[in-house]
Amino acid sequence: MCKYYPYLQKVCEAFADLVPLLQMKPFLSVMHAKGHSGKCEVQWGGRNQEGAARTDMITLQARGWNLRKKSNLHKYLSQRYVKITKRTREMEQEVEALKVELGKTEEELQQWVTDVKDWAAATPNDISPDDAPGLQRVMEGLALSIQQKKMDKYRQTDSNKARQRIQSKIEKDKQKLSQAMDFYNRLVSAEDAVGPVDIILAAECPLWPWDKDSDVPLKEKKAVFDKVMLLRRLKEEDGILLKEMQQHWQFLCRCSRRLQELKGMGYQSGLSMGAYEGLRCNLQGQLDMLKRQMREVQSAYMHVVVNVVDSSVLQLEEEEMESEEDLQESDAENSDEDI
């Protein structure tokens, strides 16, 4: 993604017909983003992109689900919403505790988030032996990436094969870091020289010579950045899940109305009386099945609304329920007329 999307931007400058392609929001999954450099994780990681909270796109995938999974969509959405709401509260408490621990305000934490984004944007993709500021950013990114991979080596893997792959990446990054240090030390005085690699990586939060005026290392800012971005994505998913539940309910209501319209149609020429009665019987069976599903969906969503969400969402759900009651009454009237 870090190579494809900039290439796409250049192509769209030459071919105006392709400009709509830039409307999509590119992002990498958390796993793939961490497999790249620290710069790529900040710039292209899905957790750090606005609007990328629902990366699994449940509503779109539901089109291809089988009937069993489709019938359980309300259970999944309800359970997922309760889980996300709980996780959001926990993350909010973590961020508040972080503010108290660091003695920082909300504005200062947001400034750290901006600093990390600016750092990632200013970091060059390749090592240039004559660009001292660029080498500084590259060294910071490589050191941060190596330390993060070391933490993930045993925390997120359970096989020797996976750990060997991570160790191989660590060794390659160490070689790049050593090369960048050599280039940088040739451009600066002995007092401003950096290295060796092992000493830099041994420090929990290394402070580089060019960060003398800053008492906050990049690693600490990056840790705050990760928590703030995770909280934003959780809040995004909270709203999207509510929207998906509402859309699911509205879809079922539309299906119910459509079945009642078909069932209420008069006798169609070309059909025998037996075929007409069979069609009405089939439609009534589908309608009964759908209403049973709607009652179950309604109960699950209302349980979430009453116990988790505020009263404003409850009122919206009540409006939907009233429309369903109207449908049931009209169906009862149609049944009486048939009798």
Sign for the pseudo-dihedral over CA of 324, 326, 332, 333: negative
Contact by Cβ (8 Å): 2, 125: yes
pLDDT band (50, 70, 90) for residue 132: confident
pLDDT of the residue at 90: 94
Tokens standing for residue 251 = 């879809």
User: Which pLDDT score, from 0 to 100, does residue 317 have?
Assistant: 46
Q: Of residues 90 and 195, which shows the higher confidence score?
A: 90
Which whole number is the average pLDDT over 305-310? 64
What is the chain's mean pLDDT, rounded?
A: 78
In order, the DSSP letters of 246-308 are HHHHHHHHHHHHHHHHHHH--PPTTS-HHHHHHHHHHHHHHHHHHHHHHHHHHHHHHHHHHHT
Residues 231-246 have a mean pLDDT of 89
pLDDT at position 327 is 43
Report d(CA 50, CA 229) in Å as an integer: 9
pLDDT higher than threshold 70 for residue 105: yes
Average pLDDT over residues 330-337: 47
The first and second tokens of residue 4, run together, are: 């494809």
Residue 194, number of CB atoms within 10 A of its CB: 22
Number of separate helices (H) and strands (E) present in the chain:
13, 0
pLDDT at residue 193 in the model? 86
Please report, as a single letter, which amino acid is at residue 188.
V
pLDDT tier for residue 110 given thresholds of 50, 70 and 90: very high
Q: Which whole-number Å values give the CA distances from 46 to 31, 56, 95, 184, in the listed order? A: 10, 11, 20, 32
pLDDT of 16 above 70: yes
pLDDT interval class at 303 (50, 70, 90): confident
Residue 243: pLDDT band by 50, 70, 90 thresholds? confident
d(CA 47, CA 41) in angstroms, rounded, equals: 9
How many residues comprise the chain? 339
Report cis status (omega within 30 of 0) of the bond before 26.
no
For residue 311, the model assigns a pLDDT of 43
pTM above 0.95, yes or no: no
Give strand pairing partners of 209.
Answer: none
Dihedrals φ, ψ of 107, to 5°? Answer: -65, -40
Between 29 and 131, whose confidence is greater? 131
Residue 329 has pLDDT above 60, yes or no: no
Which pLDDT score, from 0 to 100, does residue 316 have?
Answer: 39
- For residue 92, give the amino acid letter: E
Residue 1 pLDDT exceeds 80:
no
pLDDT at 225 exceeding the cut of 80: yes
Q: 24-45: per-residue pLDDT in tens?
A: 666 565 555 555 667 777 777 7
86 — pLDDT class (breaks 50, 70, 90) = very high
Residue 157 has φ and ψ, to the nearest 5°, of: -130, 150
Mean pLDDT of 261-279: 78
Mean pLDDT on 63-81: 76
Q: What is the mean pLDDT of residues 100-124?
A: 89
DSSP 208-225: -GGGTT-SS-HHHHHHHH
- Of 180, 174, 173, 228, the residue nearest 35 (C-alpha): 173
pLDDT over 80 at 162, yes or no: yes
pLDDT-derived band at 231 (thresholds 50, 70, 90) equals very high
pLDDT (tens digit per residue) in 201-216:
888 777 788 877 677 8
- Work out the average pLDDT over 174-182: 90
Backbone angles phi, psi at 62, to 5 degrees: -60, -25
Rounded to the nearest 10 degrees, how much is the dihedral formed by the CA atoms of 264, 268, 272, 277? 0
Q: In whole angstroms, what is the distance from residue 163 CA to residue 160 CA?
A: 5
Mean pLDDT score, 70-86: 87
